[in-house]
Amino acid sequence: MPLYKSRDDRKKKSKDVIHEANDELEIAVSKTALFSEPAPARIHKKPDEEERSQKRKRYIRKRRKNKLAGFAVTMIFTAVILLVLVVNITQGKLDNRIRTSYVKYGSIEKKVSGTAYFLREEIKITASHSGRLVPVVSEGEKVGVGQLVAYVVSEGLEEYLNELRKIEQRITTAQNSKGESEALISEDVTVIDKEIEKLRNDIAVCSMKGNMSNFLNLKRELDSLFEMRNELTMNAESKDAYIQSLQKKRVELQNLLKGKMHEIRSDHAGVVSFHVDEAIGLFNTLDFNGVGLKELASLDTKISNTANKNVLYGDVVARITPGVSYYIAVDTDKLDGFEEGKTVTVKARDRKYETYAKVVSVNGEVAILETSSALASCVSKRSVEVDVILEHQEGMLVPLRCLSDWDEARVTARIALVRANFVEYVYVNVLARNDEYAIISSKTKFDDDTTPGVRYNDIFVVNHEKVKEGEVVK
């Protein structure tokens, strides 16, 4: 028998030992279970009650976390606000720098916004026949008494009428140019005739003297002058032929449109408009001083453009505004700046209308203005959104911040200038101002001519409280 066992024998013996130990353990456990009392049963919660408890705990933890986060954000926001307030309060005390700027050119306007209603005397123009309305004059054009305003043609003949109008324009242009060219041709022919007469005399003299070389030269010059004269006369005849051909074509079109083209002429002089509505003539006899919001509401109508549209007999196809003066009713919330007799500027928001107008009356609802310009720009409208410039002042513009030592009327103030590196106080009159800037005069009305005033590009101190007169400023 060998002294040392193999590896397989040792593994087998180890397994046997483990199995014996396990058997002894099981026997011991079984004996203990026979003589011991059973363990009490464990009480378990119902599944739904336990789940609700867990949810409640999670909600409480989440709510507590949100409260802490909100409190932190509030504290940070409050700290930032306090920091900004402290900086703003202490900035003026800590910042001792002197800020300067230059006097520059600028303007200040005091204006109000509102709606402008146009109040005009208007005369209706009606159609004498049914058909297509073809205007002859433009919208907003001035016409005289009896002037042709439009045609009413049978439907389908508009092209012939437009061709007729083009031919008439060509005839007018050709006749005008013919008159100018005839005057020029007449002057040229007169000069040529004088030259021809002179050359004839020179040729006669050369012929008598037998100087043939000069004779031939003079003969060539004479022939050239005759050619020039013939070209001028032929040009004049060709223009006559062109005008005659246009006149012939005009007669043909007039014969084609005869009985199918009817004229519309104006019975009054004024400005014509082809935009019509039911409000035409409402203010012809009304006292404009008594106009209020109730009367202006009647202008809220639908406007139709009759140009190149089909019309019926008796329809209103255009209107004439006689004269040049008309009224503007301004509906605005701020009527304080309107004073009777004051001239203001009315500007449309779309920049298509602008005029100067005089305030004639102000009631509790609207301001009535009178004007005599820009009628052609508004004749097709009843109302427009506008800005009314009540005051406009141009001149030396400075920040309101730099002015101090105001008088009781707040008309005179002091400005600190920097001249030759020294601070110099100058009193000025404030001509206009708003919340930020002021237009100032060079000096007050009481200063004499020797007193140096404020000029453009002068240096002034913005934070005037930081300096005193005579102080050196670099």
Closest CA to 309 of 122, 123, 127, 125: 127
pLDDT, mean over the chain:
81
Closest CA to 285 of 109, 56, 121: 121
* Residues 396, 398: Cα–Cα separation, whole Å: 7
* Residues 231, 166: Cα–Cα separation, whole Å: 30
pTM for the complete prediction? 0.58
* Residues 208, 258: Cα–Cα separation, whole Å: 70
Buried/exposed code over 352-371 (b: 16+ C-beta within 10 A; e: otherwise): ebebebebebbeeebbbbeb
Residue corresponding to tokens 């606000």 = 81
DSSP state of 288: G
∠ Cα 396 401 407 (to 5°): 80
Domain parsing of the chain, residue ranges: 113-124+268-393, 158-259, 395-466
Phi, psi of 114 (to 5 degrees): 180, -165
Closest CA to 355 of 375, 334, 380: 375
SS3 of 58, please?
A: helix
Amino acid at 197: E
Task: Return the sign of the alpha-carbon dihedral for residues 436, 439, 442, 448.
Answer: negative
Q: Which residues of the chain fall short of a pLDDT of 70?
A: 1-48, 87-95, 175-185, 188, 209-213, 232, 234-239, 242, 250, 254, 286
Distance of CA 96 to the CA centre of its chain: 44
pLDDT tens-digit series, residues 72-97: 788 888 888 888 777 666 655 555 78
Say what the pLDDT of residue 21 is: 57
3-state SS record for 252-317: HHHHHHCCCEEEEECCCCEEEECEECCCCCCCCCCCHHHCCHHHHHHHCCCCEECCCCEECCCCEE
* Residues 24, 17: Cα–Cα separation, whole Å: 11
- Please check whether residue 365 is in contact with residue 333, taking contact to mean a CB–CB distance below 8 angstroms: no
* Residues 212, 203: Cα–Cα separation, whole Å: 10
* Residues 275, 125: Cα–Cα separation, whole Å: 11
Q: Which two tokens stand for residue 414?
A: 């002091």
Q: Which two tokens stand for residue 359?
A: 């305030």
**Helix, strand, coil shares of the chain as percentages rounded to 5?**
40, 25, 30
Say what the pLDDT of residue 58 is: 75
Say what the pLDDT of residue 161 is: 74
∠ Cα 168 170 175 (to 5°): 95
Max CA distance (Å), the chain: 183
Amino acid at 237: E
158-259: CATH number: 1.10.287
Q: Which two tokens stand for residue 317?
A: 């196809």
* Residues 309, 158: Cα–Cα separation, whole Å: 11
**DSSP assignments along 78-114, one per residue:** HHHHHHHHHHHHHHHHH--PPPEEE-EEEEEEEEEEE
SS3 of 367, please?
A: strand
